[in-house]
Amino acid sequence: MPKSNSDFFKKKKLWSEVKDKLLGCYLTPYFQKVLRTGKPIFYVDCFAGKGRFDDGKPGSPIIALEARNSCLSKTKSQSTRIEACFIDPDHAEELKECIADYCSEDGQVNVISGKYGEKIEELLSEKEGYNVFLYLDPFGIKALDSALFEKFEDYGFNSLEILINFNSFGFFRNACSVMRVEYEHDEAFKDLDDLVECEPTRLKVSKRSEDLLTGIAGGDYWKNIVRDYQAGKINGYQAEKRLSTEYKQWLKKRFQFVLDMPIRLKPGNRPKYRMIHVSGHTDGCLLMAKNMLKRKDSLFINVQQRGQLSFADLDPALSSTVENELMNKSHVAELLREHLSKTYPEVRLKDLLASFVSDYGLLCDFGMIHCMLDDMKKCDVIEILRKPALTKRGKPTTFWEETKKRTVTIRRLIP
């Protein structure tokens, strides 16, 4: 039986801390970088909750406001604006009281009582030209309506990024139930009830339930995955992997870059849900990728496994053999070379890195990719063109970090 959600805010769970740490680690550099565009920022926590857990630990609203206020305190521009909006259907008054000390009198922090699906269109329709960031950590899978994502494209934002908590195993469990497919004895679904939701989803067999799942997924591709699972062609982990891959492919039709990070519920477990970041800009993708890579030790080793952990270990569809293969340098180098051969004759380094991690995931850190590119250069597979090409002392430059005054271009020599 699913666990009761009555004590959801009583104590902050480890997996909830992981989500919020990922958000908090990203927001400060995001605000700092996007403020340079000269355009205002509109940050929306679409399922904000109470603001603080009963054990005193901060929720996502406080984490976001601390990052916002820190960035605003360091800017001298009077026109700098980071508007923040928090939506919650049940805890708006508690949230207002909780964040009162973090709000200034400029009216740029707003708490809305209501449901995300009913409020978000009106809010965003007024933000043409803004840099918009949405944090979607829903109370249940029902709230992830793909039709809303399609509408977001029409609002004329300067930029749009979304960080989504996608309960992929929860979705697939409901998909099996709706299609009358047995799953209860599959270890892939073990401990799912530890993922307590404010609004748990338990769908019944009906055409309405099927339509709801199709609306969440952006298509009915999930039905074929359930059928293959029922036929024994794939196991539960492979089914979840296919579902997540298809969901990301749907997102990629609307956003250029999609990053995916599986998350564990507690130490020693396989991952049970995914944090998915979408962006239409290279800089946004790279900033999140670097955030994930830089903080993987604190986010995953300390919180989850208490031991050595790689990003490949986070993928529930991978066996130990494939995990080892994926983290093998030569294999990643092969993927990188293949990516170069089928996509770019010449490409800026930052565009290459963003497209590679979006297509293949965070298989290794960027330093390893730099070494692979150096190896390709030595084998005359590519040229690495840097501007400036020489240091002040006349020596060839070797930098990898691109700025306004420094660029790195990769030119393919072998088709």
Task: Indicate if 300 and 334 belong to the same structural domain.
Answer: no
pLDDT tens-place string over residues 214-225 = 999 999 999 999
Determine the pLDDT at residue 246.
95
Q: Which domain holds residue 387?
A: 328-412
Helix (H) or strand (E) holding 411: strand 407-412
Residue 157 has pLDDT above 70, yes or no: yes
238 with 265, same domain? yes
Contact criterion met (CB below 8 Å) for 390 and 396: yes
What does the DSSP assignment read for 107-147?
A: S-EEEEES-HHHHHHHHHTT-TT-EEEEEE--SSGGG--HH
Same domain, 88 and 185: yes
d(CA 46, CA 48): 6
Counting Cβ atoms within 10 Å, is residue 389 exposed (0-12), middle (13-18) or buried (19+)?
Answer: exposed
Flag whether 345 is in a domain. Answer: yes
Comparison of pLDDT for 106 and 262, the residue scoring more: 262
What CA–CA distance (Å, rounded) separates 225 from 221?
7
Q: Is residue 77 part of a domain?
A: yes
- Residue where one domain finishes, among candidates 290, 316, 342: 316
Tell me the Ramachandran region of residue 402: left when phi exceeds 0, alpha when psi lies from -120 to 50, beta otherwise.
beta
Could you tell me which of 261, 257, 259 has the C-alpha nearest to residue 280? 257
Q: Please state whether the predicted TM-score (pTM) of the whole model is above 0.75.
A: yes
Residue 73 — pLDDT band, cuts 50, 70, 90? confident
Place of tokens 């976001």: 64
pLDDT in tens, 367-387: 999 999 999 999 999 999 999
Residues 298-313 have a mean pLDDT of 39
In terms of average pLDDT, the best of 11-15, 131-135, 137-141 is 131-135
Same domain, 380 and 277: no
Residue 1 placed within a domain: no
- Position 192 scores a pLDDT of 65
Average pLDDT, the chain: 84
Lowest mean pLDDT segment, chosen from 3-17, 192-206, 256-270, 308-322: 308-322
CATH assignment at residue 357: 1.10.10
Domain assignment present for 9: no
pLDDT of residue 264: 67
Percent of the chain with pLDDT over 70: 83
Residue 335 shares a structural domain with residue 269 = no
Are 234 and 339 in a shared domain? no
Residues 6+ away with beta carbon under 8 Å from 40: 81, 82, 83, 129, 130, 131
State the pLDDT confidence band at 141, using cuts at 50, 70 and 90: confident
CB 39 within 8 A of CB 158: yes
Runs of H (alpha helix) within 163-234: 168-178, 207-217, 221-230
Radius of gyration of the chain (CA): 22
Same domain membership, residue 184 and residue 281? yes
Q: Are residues 363 and 298 located together in one domain of the fold? A: no
Number of domains the chain is built from: 2
| Residue 131's CATH number | 3.40.50
Q: Among 252, 281, 316, which residue terminates a domain?
A: 316
Assess whether 271 and 394 both reside in one domain: no
Last residue of one domain, picked from the residues 316, 351, 386: 316
